[in-house]
Amino acid sequence: MIPSLEHHRVRRSVPVCAAAILMMFGSGRATAQMDDAIYNYLRFERFEYEGNGDIHLFKWDIEGWTGSDYNKLWVKSEGDYVFEQDIFGRADLQLLYSRNIATFWDAQIGIRRAFEPERTFDGVIGIQGLAPYFFETEAAMFISENGNVLGRFKLAYELLLTQRLIAQPRIEINVSADDIENRGVKAGITEFEAGLRLRYEIVREFAPYIGFDYVEEQSLREHKHSVRAVAGIRAWF
C-alpha cells in the first residue's frame, strides 16, 4: 500500500519538532544576548529650507538613540531659523529614556531644554511607535517648571510610488493647556502643520526631497497662516 501524503507529513514532523525543541533550549542564551546587544541610530527626518514670498526658514527635526531592543536613550531636537531676522524662531532638545512596552511601541520619559523663544526646562512624558496601517506616530506631553502643560503630536505615512520614489504626507500639532506669557503662547492649538514631501532615495540612507507645508500659528500676539514650499534631505545612519 502506498503511504498517504498525510502519513509522510506525520513522519517528517517528529524529527522537525525534536530539532525545534533542541534549538529553543539551546538558543535561549543566544537570544538573550541578542536582546541585550547595543545598537545606535541617527536620523535627519527634516533638514530643509521652507519658505514663500514672505517667509524664509531653515528647519530641522533630528533624532537618534542608543540602546537595546527594550531600553534606549533617545536624543531629539527640533526647531527653525529665520533668515530675514537672523534668529531662531523655535528650538529645543530632548533627552529621553525609552522602554519598549508593546510590538512597535515605546514609552518615553525625560526632559526637554527649550532654547527659543524662552530658555526653560520641561518634563516629558510620551509614546512613539507604528500605528495600524503603518502610520508613524509620536505624542508627547511637556510639563513646564511653572506647571504649564503643553503637547506635541506627529503623524506620518510613507506611500511607495516606486522602489525609490516615496510620497510622505505629514501632520504636526503643538498645543497648550494655558496662556503662557513668557513664551507668548496662547491656550489651544499653537501650531498646526500639514504637508507632503516627495523624496527620491538615491540610496536607502540618503534621499533629497521637495514638497509643501500648510502652516497655521497662533500666539498671544498674532494669528497667521501660510503655504510654503520645502526642499531638503532625509538621511539616517
Q: pLDDT digits over 129-152, tens only?
A: 999 999 999 999 999 988 999 999
Question: pLDDT value at position 181?
Answer: 86
E-only strand ranges, 103-222 = 105-116, 120-131, 135-144, 149-156, 159-160, 165-176, 188-200, 206-218
Q: Tell me the pLDDT band of 86, cut-offs 50, 70 and 90.
A: confident
Question: pLDDT value at position 10?
Answer: 36
Question: pLDDT value at position 35?
Answer: 64
Cell 496662556: give the residue.
179
Question: pLDDT value at position 118?
Answer: 79
State the DSSP string of 17-61.
HHHHHHHHHHTHHHHHHHHT--EEEEEEEEEEEEE-SS-EEEEEE
Would you give the distance in Å from CA 139 to the centre of its chain? 9
Q: Tell me the pLDDT band of 33, cut-offs 50, 70 and 90.
A: low
Cβ–Cβ < 8 Å for 173, 197: no
Greatest CA separation for the chain: 91
Q: Tell me the pLDDT band of 21, cut-offs 50, 70 and 90.
A: very low
Render pLDDT for 105-117 as a digit per residue (tens, 0 to 9): 999 999 999 888 7
